[in-house]
Every structure is written in structure tokens, then in C-alpha cells.
Structure 1
Amino acid sequence: MNQPPLTRRIGLLQATAINMIDMVGIGPFVVLSVVAQLMQGPWFLYAWLAGAFLSFTDAMIWSELGATYPLAGGSYNFLKESYGPRWGKLTSFLYVWQTLIQAPLVIASAAIGFAQYAGYIFPMSTIAGKCVSGGVVVLIIVLLFRKIETIGKISVLLWAGVIITMVWIIASGIGYGHFMAPVANMNTGLHFNHAFAATLGFASVKTVYCYLGYYNVCHLGGEITQPEKNIPRSMFISIACIAVLYLLLNISVSSVLPLSTIQNSKFVVSEFIRTTHGEAAAKVVTVLILWVAFASVFSATLGYSRVPFAAAQDGAFFKVFAKVHPTRHFPYVSLLVLGATAFVFSLLFRIESVINAILAVRIVTQFLAQAVGLLLLHKKNGRSFFKWRMPWFPVPVIVAIIIWIAIFCSTGLHMIASGLLVIIAGVTVFLIKAKANKEWPFLPR
């Protein structure tokens, strides 16, 4: 029985909105204090600049691959094509394998952050917080159970809430009177040495997490109109806008609150608005922050649900994931499985541990693998093969590889071991599957 095809209905505006609401989740509002704690000085803005630089550089890799292979599943297709008919089977399988773990972690992290920030308005017990985070995941699944054009309209609405929230926070800092002071003082007492580089690495793990999602449009490649243009444009527009918003957000908060308050606050933005506008306004901005967190879960779940679907359609994953809803035309089995796993994770974990785990699991099997794979594709097919071509190739690719390795090392030994364990488990499952089906590397002589 043939499955109904995905339809290309998402334009540049909707694609950009989907990227941006995935990027601006609860992350910047929770991570702001953590980064300030790690950096221990006014130079914490450098960590946000480092995250933006890596995102721009890595987006060039995603743009070449996404514009050339605009299919559902994103990285699954990129890795399969990059490493050829043999090793491509293994690398693409490992990506889908880790997606079943890290995608629910991403969704759960936003849901957990939602429940944490809701505590500013409604103080709650640990159990009540878990109920809230789990309820957020369930509601997201309900909203995504519909046609893609409807989802595009919902994305734009959620995106508007994100922009309104960020603009209000930034305007509050500007109006308070000392807006540029953090920029003027960001080098005060700073020494560019090995200790600063190491600290910047640890802090950048957190800021990079806040930028993740700029590539979400690639997972929806089979549903994007004019993908060779809209996929790269939506990514670079998203990163540029979010980088400016993140920097202005941090400058606004640090221009009003002392560094010690920022470092020790669980609700730093709410306390910032309470200082500038009073308690009632602080509760309103907290509600808007919850809107932003909800929007992020919505976008992330939408994009990731297409990954197991694409692999299953290709015959490289369990067939049940290839099922498309007969009337609403979306991969509902993939959506339900990822949502159920995220629901469980939202009940089990804390947001601090989830952030490091997300990056440790993904860097090797996705970001590094794609960068190396792009170099292999260039060698095999030549530069003219690509629908979009990055400037100064291959410098951005090499720079991205070096930075991703540094970020991976900065996640900590425990998370590095966990990431490698996921890879080993994936290779084991792949070999068992290949032997049972008499596939490479167990082809009959």
C-alpha cells in the first residue's frame, strides 16, 4: 500500500519562524544565569558570541547539504549520500538511532524548563513540576496532529509571541538608562589565557544549546517550497536575528541587575522585569516566556518527527515509522513514538544534565559526521554539484570541525562516555540487523 506523499507548502516566512521558535525556547532564560556563573565576570557576553559564530559556520555546511538534498529527515539523507552505499548505511543508521534518544531529550529539556519557570507564578512541588512538564509534551502532540499548512500558520503565531517577548525585555533595559554599560565593561579584568579559553569552552556548551534549531528546516526539506533558496536563507536569517536578540537580552538584563543577582537567580528575566516595571509586569513576562518555551517544544517535535520517518521510508529503519496519516498527510507513528519517549524523559531528568547530554550524543554522529561527509561529497562530485555553495570553502568546514571537537571535550568525561556508549550500542544494533537481513557488511559471497 503506497503512503500519501508529503507536500511542499512551507515558504520562507514559515520556515524562518519554525527555525526561530525552535532556537528561542526556554534555553536563553535558564542558561543566562548558568553562563554568568561559569564565566565569573562581565565578559560572559563572549560565550554568546562564540555560540553565534559556530552556528553561522555550521549553517554553511547545512545549507550546502540541505539545498542539494531537500528531503524529509535532513541529516539522515545527508549522511547516507556523503558516505556512499556501504558506510552511508552505518552513519545514517547511527544518526536515526541517536535521534530516538537525543530528540526526546531536546523536547524534554524545553518542557522541564517550562515547568521550572512556571514556578515563578505558581510555586509547585517536584511532583507537580513533573506533571506540568509531561502535560506540555502531551499538548504538543495534540497540536501537531494536523496538516502541515495548518502547522505553518501555528508556527507563525507562536513566532510572533517570541518576538514580542524578546522586544519587551530588550526595550526595558534600554529604557532603564545604563544599556551600554555591560558592553563598555565586558573586558574589565579580562585576561586572554588558557584559563579563559577553558572557561569559554564550558560556557559555550550552554550557549550553543540555545542556538540549536537553526537547521530545523532541513528536517522538513520535503515540505519546503523552493528549497535551494529558502533552506539556506531561513537558516542565516534565523541565526542573525537570534544572535542579535540574545546579545541584546543579556545586555539588557546585566545593565539593570548586578552580576551576583544574575548568577544566583532561577527566574532572572522575571526578576529583571520586576525591577524595571513591578511585580505585575514580571508575572506577565513570565507567561510570555512560557509561551516561548512552548513554541520551542512545538517546533523541535515537528522537525524531529520526520527523521525516523525518512529512514523507514528508505528501508533503513523499522517499517512502522514510515506510516503517514491517511487524511492529514504527516508521519504520525514517528511523532507519537518520539512524543511518548519525551514524556518519559520529562519525568526523569533535570534540565542541567539534559543540556550536556544533548550535545554529547549529537556532536559525533551528526555535526562532525556531516562536516566530514561534505568534504567527501566535494571530492567525489565537485563544487558545481551543489545547489548552494559556501564562500571560502573548505575553511568554514575545517573551522566547524575544530570547534565541535572542542565543544565535545567541554561536555565533561561523563557525558563523553555516555555519547560514545550510545554510538557503540548503535553500531551493535546495526550489525545485528545487517546480519539478520544479510546486508552489508554481511553480504553473501
Structure 2
Amino acid sequence: MQATSMNMSQMMGAGPFITMPIILATVGGPQAMFGWIVGALLAILDGLVWSELGAAMPGEGGSYIYLREAFKYRTGKLMPFLFTWSTIIATPMIMSTGAIGMANYLVYFFPSLSPLGIKLSAVAITLITIAILYRKIGSIAKITVVLWAGMILTVCLILIGGFSHFNPSMAFDFPKDAFAPGQFFIGLGAGMLISIYDYLGYYTVCYLGGEVKNPGRTIPRAVILSVILVSLIDLSMNISVIGVLPWQEGMKSHNIMTEFMQRIWGEPGAVIITILILWTCFASLFTGLLGASRLPYQAAADGLFFKPFAKLHKKHNFPHYSLIIMGCIMIICCFFDLGQIINALMAVTIVVQFMGQIIALSILRRRKPDMKRPFKQWLYPIPSILAFIGWAFVFYSSGWQAIRLSIVWTLLGLIVYVIWARKNNEWPFRKVEYEVEKVSIK
């Protein structure tokens, strides 16, 4: 249960409180609930990929270790470099959604804020977070508890308020063309993209495989249980909201939970829920940026990324270079719409990390058949194939603007890698060195 709770604490951040209007507007009605359901299925399938890799290669590093070990035989350090390169932009995008969400909820207390004022508020929140992090942080355990407590209290209030005033005819008020084949599947892809964003973090336990007892059993159980529980919470919460606040109004709202609570319990309820959401969003932003700034540092320290990212603050001993770079990208992201940021971050991460990881699992199965695997993916390779197709569908659904950004950023990463590899005498400027291993041809 501890591993499952850890996963859920990372999954239940700002997402559920800020994405509901986007998915309602994108899908065009309560049928958005199917996006959460199918998104949960994709997360479970992909979770089986994470479970095998995480149990076989436990410890810190996660995806970049899996990609490094699988692709080093042909392309040297290219894939872990590209993963770190994508993380440099994707992680600040994820964090900026929390800052943008906070700024939107601040409008309740400062109704005169203009659209530019909201964006500048998000920038201010980012700067405050960086300033707090720009010192040595001993442990994030207490902060994680704060995040978890705030989230649980917020969700409980929403569920109690929603279902005590629930109107089924309002919650299931589907538009006439809601299930028309073409429109439904287009909306389903967009809904999956938003729901997967909300589920991000279902793989957290895989980063801690070395500290998990009986990883072959604990990791897949934690991944699957956390996805099921969080999807049920998200689905229940969103149905309860549109059972009180018509979805036609909800999809136009920037602070939907505040409007929902004001409809039920008036101004006191709206004030309380807004403060709790601000609390949860900030705690999520703080812990997320704190952890994310360590990844480029670790990659650079291992010789897989630019050396400046391996620099530590002389006094406080934290990766300040990485923190500043990510903070600057966050500030830029604050000037874009929430939906644009979510589409872009998912498109950037899908190809290299999620789809690349599925390929990595197959490569390792072939190249290292004797590798110790405490957990093996059930019904392999069916879950891998279905997950790959699902990610391709979500990638396509992100829209051409996000896809172009993903392609351009990856191509730019390839150019930067070539420059870096030439300077450091890495592949393709020298042959890849690896030990001869038994290769399965089955």
C-alpha cells in the first residue's frame, strides 16, 4: 500500500482541478468520461512496460537508464541524450500548468485581473517557487505529506458537495451527435491526451525499485492499483461537478471548482475550495520542480549531457544551473494557454520516452534474455503493441501544432547531440563499445 500511495501522491497534483474545462470543451460534452476510462487502460498497458523495466533495473534514473541500456549497442548515448533533451522542455511545461492553474484560481480573489495579468501572476508564482528552491532542501517528505493532505481534503469536499446535490439528468446531458463515429473518436483521442496528463506519475514507484521489497510483485500492483484508484477518483469528481454545474458552463470556466462550490455552499465554500486548490497546486509545483531539476544533473554527472548541468551550488549543494534553465522555460510557458501547453508537453514526451521505452523493452528481451526480471510483462508482447498504438493515437490527437513542436525539438536535439558527440568523441564519431552478449533469435 505504501508504494501505491506514493504513486497516487504524484498523480493527484494540480491536474484534476485545472483540466476539466479543457476536456469538456475539447470533447464537447459529458462523453469526456470515456476519455478518462480509455486513458486509464492505456496507462495500465504502459504501466506493464514500466513494471518490467523498473523491476529489472531498479534505482534512480528511470527512463534514461532503460533507454541507455537498450540503445547503447547501436547508437551509443543518443537516446538517453534525447530523453534528457526532451525533459529539459517537457518538465517545465508540466510545472507551468500548475502555475497557470494557480493564476486562474487567483482570479476569484482578484476579479479585475486581465488576461495579461493572469499570465504575469503565473510568472510571479514561478519566480517565487524558484526563489524558495534556490537553497538546500533537506527532504521533500513533509512537503509531500502536505500535498497529499491538501489533495485528499479537496477531493473529499468536492465529492461530498457534488453527490449531495447531484442531478443525473444534468450530468448525463449528452449532445445529440455525441456518439457520431467520426466526431466521437476525434474527441476520444483528445480526451485520452488530457486524462493521460492527469495520470502522469503512475510510474513513480519504478524510480524507487531498489527500495521496494519484492519488486516483481509490488511494482506492477502499485502501478495498476494507483491508475484504477485515481481514475475512479477523477471520474467520480468530474461527474459530480457536471451534475451540479452544467457542462456548457463548465467548459468556459477558468476556475470550475470554485464556481461549482459557490453554486452549492455559496461564498464560504468557494473561498475554502479555492484556497485548498491553490495549496495543492503550489505543493505539486514545488515538489515537481525540485525533483525534475535533478534529472539533467544526474545525466550530466554520468557523462550523458552537457557538463554545466552537473554543476552544484557552491554553498547549498544543489543543481542550480538545471533549476535556472528549467525556471526560465517555465516563465516562457506561462504566456501560453493551458491546453496548448498540455498538448505540446505530451507530444514532446511520447515519441522519445514512452514509445522509445516500449521499443527498449523489446530490445532488452532480445539482447539480454538472461537478465534477471523479477516481473515479466503479462501476455508479452500484446500489452506493448497495444500501448504503442495507444501512444501513437494520442500523439496524433495532440494536433499538428504540438506535433510540429515535437518534431522540431527532436531534430534540434539531434543537431545538438552531433555537436556534443563530436566534442566528446562519442558515437557516431567512434565505434560503440559494448561487451559481447548472448542474443536470442526467438
TM-score (norm 2): 0.88
Match of 1:306 in 2: 294
Q: CA deviation at 1:343?
A: 3.2
Report sequence identity in percent.
Answer: 37
The answer as to 2:194 corresponding to 1:206 is: yes
Letter in 1 for 2:162: G
1:166 aligned onto 2:125: no
Distance 1:162 1:391 in 2: 33
Pairing partner for 2:79 from 91, 94, 99: 91
Residue of structure 2 aligned with 1:248, choices 222, 236, 255: 236
- The letter for the 2-side match of 1:366 is Q
The match for 2:110 is: 122
Moved more, 426-435 or 132-141: 132-141
- Do the aligned partners of 2:171 and 2:246 also contact (CA within 8 Å) in 1? no
Alignment correspondent of 1:275 = 263
- How far residue 146 of structure 1 moved from its aligned partner, in angstroms, is 6.7
Which amino acid in structure 1 is aligned with residue 97 of structure 2?
S
1:48 aligns with 2:36: yes
Q: Distance in 2 between matches of 1:387 and 1:327?
A: 41
Which residue identity is paired with 1:43?
Answer: Q
CA distance in 2 between partners of 1:376 and 1:129 (Å)? 47
Is the Cα–Cα contact under 8 Å of residues 21 and 292 in structure 1 kept in the other structure? no
**Residue matched to 1:4:** none
Q: Is the 8 A contact 1:221 1:227 kept in 2?
A: no
Contact persistence 2:143–2:283 (CA under 8 A)? no
Q: Structure 1 regions of 5+ residues with no counterpart?
A: 1-11
1:380 and 2:367 matched:
yes
User: What is the TM-score with the length of structure 1 in the denominator?
Assistant: 0.87
CA distance in 2, matches of 1:333, 1:405: 34
| Cα deviation code 1:413-435 (max 9, x no counterpart) | 12111111111111111112222
Q: Once the 2 structures are TM-superposed, how far is the Cα of residue 19 of structure 1 from its aligned partner? A: 3.9
Deviation at 1:86, TM superposition (A): 3.7
Which is worse superposed, 402-411 or 137-146? 137-146
TM-aligned CA distance change 1:342 to 1:435, over 3 Å = same
Q: Name the aligned partner's letter for residue 132 of structure 1.
A: S
CA distance in 2, matches of 1:148, 1:374: 35
Q: 1:421 aligns with which of 403, 408, 412?
A: 408
* Contact kept in structure 2, 1:408 and 1:416, CA below 8 Å: yes
After TM superposition, give the deviation of residue 441 of structure 1 in Å.
0.9
* 1:9 corresponds to: none
1:18-417 map, 5 Å: 19-123=7-111, 124-144=113-133, 150-178=139-167, 191=179, 193-218=181-206, 224=211, 226=213, 228=215, 231-323=219-311, 331-346=319-334, 348-382=335-369, 385-417=372-404
* 1:342-362 alpha-carbon deviations (Å, 9 max, x no partner): 23433x322121111101111
* Distance across 1 between alignment mates of 2:431 and 2:181: 57
Q: Distance in 2 between matches of 1:103 and 1:16?
A: 23
- Number of residues paired by the alignment? 430
Stretch moving more, 358-367 or 24-33: 24-33
Deviations 1:117-141 (A, max 9, x none): 2112222234442343223223434
Q: Cα distance 1:375–1:276, how it changes in 2: closer, same or farther (>3 A)? A: same
Q: Secondary structure of 2:226's match?
A: helix
Q: Is the Cα–Cα contact under 8 Å of residues 165 and 289 in structure 1 kept in the other structure?
A: yes
Alpha-carbon RMSD across the aligned residues, in angstroms, is 2.9
Distance 2:289 2:100 in 1: 15
Q: Runs of 5+ in structure 2 lacking a partner?
A: 433-442
- Describe the superposition over 1:28-59 as per-residue Cα deviations: whole angstroms up to 9, x where unpaired: 22321222223233322101112211111111
Q: Note the alpha carbon deviations across 1:189-247, whole angstroms, 9 max, x for none.
A: 7536233112211222222222222224445667x454836654543343222111101
